[in-house]
Amino acid sequence: MTIENARSLEDPPTLEREGIMLARHASEIRDFRDAAEVRQRYPGDLEALIVETWRAGVPHSAFDDPSCPPGSAARMSIEARVFAVYN
């Protein structure tokens, strides 16, 4: 298997052709090695990326539900479903 930098490809991957796409996004996360910061900021980053990339809405109630705190199995399930829907 050959691994390449997809950002340097003349013809970038598309959702329709490869099932993946590249998008630019400025993350609010400053230290990706800081698990607490990632847990705190990831949901907002994910929502912003989805909205910016697809001009889509995310069910805010899913991210604001106190029974689904960041890092919980319920929250990860929601995020996985959102990821799958938009990929």
> Would the pTM count as exceeding 0.85?
no
Sign of the CA dihedral 76, 79, 84, 87? negative
Q: Report the amino acid identity of residue 54.
A: W
Q: Is the pLDDT of residue 81 over 70?
A: no
pLDDT digits (tens, 9 = 90+) for 19-59: 888 888 888 889 989 999 988 988 888 888 887 777 665 55
Map out the domains of the chain as residue ranges. 6-85
- What is the full DSSP assignment across 2-70? ----GGG-SS---TTTTS--------S-S-TT-HHHHHHHHHHHHHHHHHHHH-----HHHHH-TTS-T
